[in-house]
Amino acid sequence: MIALLAAAALFAGILAAGAPAATRSPSAHGAASFMTGIGDEHPEMFTDPLWLQLHTQIVRYIAPYDAAVQPFSLAEARRWIEAAEARHQKILVAFYHSEYTPTRLPSVATYKRDVQKFVRLFPHVTEYQSWDEANRGNIPGVLASPSATLDARYYQALIRVCHDCTVTGLDVLDQAYIEPTLNYIYEFRQEIYRLETIMPRVSGVHDYSDVNREEGWRTRELIRALGGEVWLTETGGIVQFGGYFPNRHGEGLPRAAKAIKFVFGLAGSHAKIKRLYLFDWTGGTPRTRFDAGIMDARYRPRPGYVVLCRALHAARCNVRTSGR
């Protein structure tokens, strides 16, 4: 229920500006300019023949910041990470709120202690994000998000306990109106200067608003504000989101596939974009409020899978797709 309510609040901001505008897809400079992977929390993905034939090398996992000290969260993380490592994947872990106290943010000392334990438990994971979608904002009674100042301190704590890791400095959602996101980036960078901490070399962006409207200006603005290298750590086509993007008669499936095609062109048109993580592999049921799955709930490929497969030049892309 927490996840569903969080998704609803998050994407209400994305969709506030109305229907997608009809724009032309940017021309790619070549798919080799960036790496492509999948973000998902279900280890079943790693045994799926349809995933295996994509031959991707990077994956993303969202873990509670306190996973190392919570047995259930740790067991889930361990199962997923071990499955990914068995397939020789480069793993990016994004820390997030606790599953047990989602409305309470940890102190910097608690955060540092818990993530240090996680880092020590998984020595082969060397890529991290200090907080997933940090600028999401608080959802009363559901979850809390850090201020830009606090997020900068989490980032500082993480790089201190993982000296040889690649840590993205920010992981932000573009939103339909990006002014609050730009302000968040500015405040974060100001705090980094004040703390005399190393400025992040890599930043993460979730550009759902851009790709589902087939626009690119938000991404350009965020790249300019962030500076340095950018990873699209969450992106993809929305199959279903309440009444905003319905899938009553299957109309969400071609719409999501079109968005996936657009994001490849968008990423290829920006030299600073070095990675693209589609979210997510595992789709929902007709009753799921937010669904951006490349597969349906029964792991049958949707049209978006064919777009992804062809974009990666993988073999056997002509598969029978699901109508759900």
* pLDDT, tens only, 234-275: 999 999 887 777 888 888 999 999 999 999 999 999 999 999
Q: What is the pLDDT of residue 284?
A: 86
SS3 295: strand
pTM for the whole structure: 0.90
Please report which residue ranges of the chain form alpha helices under DSSP H: 2-14, 49-52, 71-86, 108-121, 148-161, 179-195, 208-213, 217-226, 252-268, 303-311
Provide the residue ranges of all domains of the chain, joining segments of one domain with +.
Answer: 2-16+25-311
CB 251, CB 34: distance < 8 Å: no
Residues 6+ apart with CB under 8 A from 260: 211, 236, 237, 278, 294, 304, 307, 308, 311
Dist CA 244 CA 45 (whole Å): 28
When comparing pLDDT for 284 and 125, which is higher?
Answer: 125
Q: What is the pLDDT of residue 317?
A: 80
* pLDDT, tens only, 67-97: 999 999 999 999 999 999 999 999 999 999 9
Q: Which fold has domain 2-16+25-311?
A: TIM Barrel (3.20.20)
Q: What is the identity of the amino acid at 42?
A: H
